[in-house]
Amino acid sequence: MPATHLIIHGRVHGVFYRDWTVRTARELGLAGWVRNLPDGTVEAHLEGEAQAVGAMIALMHDGPPAARVDRIEQSEVAAEGLDRFVRR
């Protein structure tokens, strides 16, 4: 199963974007991870059903109320075989 790698640009640090991502991904039944990067972006890895991944990406364009997402870079990558979604 392919997975999706994302880099989220905008105001995504200090606005609970990672916590929101973990909660939302778990609600959608996705596995993967999310983490802050030193350059002010957020990196995420999503694994799961294509429909759930698509829904998650659509939601990530808005994120939590205090966030401002300017753009999301997306690429297909190999699945890591994860069984849950975590914050790194």
Dist CA 35 CA 53 (whole Å): 17
Q: What residues are labeled active site?
A: 18, 36
pLDDT in the model for residue 36: 98
C-alpha distances (whole Å) from 66 to each of 40, 45, 63 are 15, 22, 8
Sketch out the chain's domains with CATH numbers.
3-87 (3.30.70.100)
Residue 62 corresponds to which tokens in the numbers above?
Answer: 């808005």
Q: Is the pTM of this model over 0.85?
A: yes
At 28, list the tokens.
């959608």
Q: What is the pLDDT along the chain (88 residues), one digit of tens a residue?
A: 679 999 999 999 999 999 999 999 999 999 999 999 999 999 999 999 999 999 999 999 999 999 999 999 999 999 999 999 999 9
